[in-house]
Chain A
Amino acid sequence: MTTPPTGFLEEADLHAFVDGILDPDQRRRVEEHLAQHPEDAALVESWQRQNAAIRAVYEPILREIPAPSLRSAAAQVAAPSGTIESGATHWGRPGVLPRVRRREDILAQQRRQAIFASVLAVLSVAAVAALATFIFAGRGEHRPITAASAPQGYVARAGLTYATYVSDQHPVEIDASRLEELSSWLKARVGFYKVPDLSQQGMRLIGGRVAPGVAAPAGFLIYERPDGGRVGLYFERSVATISQQASKSGSGVTAIEWRTADFAFVLIGPLSLDLMQVAAEKAAAQIIGASQP
């Protein structure tokens, strides 16, 4: 703040007072002025009230735990495909390391990426094709899942849960007409019971169930669109050691993963990325609203 002429205060001094950037002498001078000028004191108080209102809304965000891949974003090398359009669908992309890396590590990583890029592309196409076949064929060859082949990430687990239940004749254990019972069950077994309302996105809740999770029981809600397409919301108490996975979008199936309130959530369904992202935003907003006091 520039020092005003002795005995005078400018509005800049009042803003600087509110913003806490005055030295002790200047601060005392403003305080004396405010004690003698209630109109200016009220003005200052209104600005302080604005600041308090803003902080009250946004300070709780500091208590949320950011995804590990978000914390290490600056260390990540951008995907060769180009600009990131949506962080949610890119968190935890393969090759992202959750630790801080040195320059040599990053250069080595780039070399490895160049060598294995074509191999990864082939494997990715094969994985998506297999998932799509499993989902849409309805009755795939049932092979027992061994510990070595079991999916470890939440997106992979959500995909498996979706494929298992979505086309079943009885996809849910408790239907939407018994919402209170469903919530109580999910609360007891999974620890989270808020059932987002996605009706504005044209998704009617069918019901939900408890399903095997990666490290704990998971909740799985199924919504249905007027065209018969079904969307699943998978959630499980998140474990820090399990990094977020790149979301899947291929062969008509899109999955978006996010984490909040100590839980990992995955919205998965046969819709476009745009529609799924809008629905995910809606669900996330309601979940945040439910988890805040």
Chain B
Amino acid sequence: MSNYADILAELSEATPVFRRYARALGAGVGLVVADGLVHSALQGLGARLRAREVTPNDAEAARIEAYKAITSLAAHKYQVASGPGPRHPPIVHGLAALDFTDRAVLLLVSLEGFGYDAAADIAGISRETVFMRLQRARALLANWTANSGGIPQVSAARSSAHLRVVK
């Protein structure tokens, strides 16, 4: 996809999923802040596209660039954002308790459906680090929800080892 208009159309179509990711990444952040983040990220990406600093070849590459922009901006903007309140379900509190990059990796894989390579590209880390962070996020989330009376989970200790041989 080299046509600028096609890329913009793809980004426009994908706006709902960008909003979902930004809201989840904020773990309790308000919709005004999350939508503002998406707006700023897409506007910044648009400027980079026009300057040809990024030249995605297809729709998927354009989406990944947008996820990169959202993740990168969120890492700074969400540092001062308010956390979840009493009305948020336990899983949101659990997500808020995770390290930002652990949370981003978990959401990219579990919610947005990216493979490990794409998640690594978006988060700016290696594939091995993606797996390590995914494993840690799931273990911490299981531990958090078990301790907070949230969703029943298998003990986090079961999954504490990296690349554990189970058979």
- Please pick, from A33, A72, A88, A280, the residue contacting B167 in the complex, using a CB distance under 8 A: A33
Contact flag A50-B138 (CB < 8 Å), given A15-B131, A73-B42, A86-B32:
yes
Assuming A49-B151, A50-B110, A285-B31, is B91 touching A88 (CB within 8 A)?
A: no
User: Is chain B's binding surface mostly helix, strand, loop or mixed?
Assistant: helix
Kindly state whether residue B115 has any CB partner on chain A within 8 Å: yes
Would A10 and B163 count as touching, CB distance under 8 A?
Answer: yes
- Beyond A62-B17, A106-B50, whether A10 also contacts B32 by CB under 8 A is no
Is A61 touching B87 in the complex (CB atoms < 8 A)? no
Question: Once bound together, how far apart are the Cα atoms of A47 and B152, in whole Å?
Answer: 11
- Are A53's CB and B158's CB within 8 A? no
Residue of B23, B134, B151 touching A61 (CB-CB under 8 A): B23
A87 engages B37 (CB within 8 Å) = yes
Given contacts A74-B11, A75-B46, contact A12 B167 (CB under 8 A): no
Q: Give every chain A residue within 8 A of B110 (Cβ-Cβ).
A: 19, 50-51, 54-55
Q: Which of A47, A67, A89, A91 has the most CB of B within 10 A?
A: A47
- Cβ contact within 8 Å between A54 and B24: yes
Chain B residues closer than 8 Å to A114, beta-carbon distance? none
* Residues of chain B contacted by A240 (CB below 8 angstroms): none
Tell me the smallest distance from the CB of A194 to a CB of chain B, in Å: 14
* Given A71-B12, A90-B36, A281-B33, A43 and B158 contact (CB-CB distance below 8 Å): yes
Tell me if B36 and A74 are in contact (CB < 8 A).
Answer: no
- A46 engages B153 (CB within 8 Å): yes
A46-82 CB contacts (< 8 Å) to partner B: 46-47, 49-51, 53-55, 57-59, 61-62, 64, 66-67, 69-78
User: Are B91 and A285 interface neighbours, CB within 8 A?
Assistant: no
User: What band does the interface of chain A fall in when counting residues whose beta carbon is under 8 Å from B?
Assistant: 35 or more
Cβ of A9 under 8 Å from chain B: yes
| List of A residues within 8 angstroms of B35 by Cβ | 66-67, 70, 87-88, 91, 258
- B residues in contact with A49, CB < 8 Å: 151-153
CB neighbours (8 Å) of B164 from chain A are 10-11
CA of A20 to CA of B109, assembled, Å? 10
Q: Measured between alpha carbons, how far is A286 from B23 in the docked complex, in Å? A: 16
Residues of chain B with a CB closer than 8 A to A281's CB: 30-33, 82
Against A, the Cβ 8 Å flags (1 = close, 0 = not) of B1-45 are 000110111011001110110011000001111011111101111
Report which B residues bind A (CB closer than 8 A).
4-5, 7-9, 11-12, 15-17, 19-20, 23-24, 30-33, 35-40, 42-47, 49-50, 66, 82, 85, 87, 89, 91-92, 95, 106-107, 109-111, 113, 115-116, 131, 134-135, 138, 141-142, 145, 151-154, 158-159, 161-167
Q: Which residues of A contact B (CB under 8 A)?
A: 7-12, 14-15, 19-21, 33, 37, 39-40, 42-43, 45-47, 49-51, 53-55, 57-59, 61-62, 64, 66-67, 69-78, 83-91, 100-103, 106, 256, 258, 260, 277, 280-281, 284-285, 288-289
By Cβ-Cβ distance, the 6 closest A-B pairs, closest first, are A87-B36, A87-B39, A74-B46, A281-B30, A73-B42, A88-B32
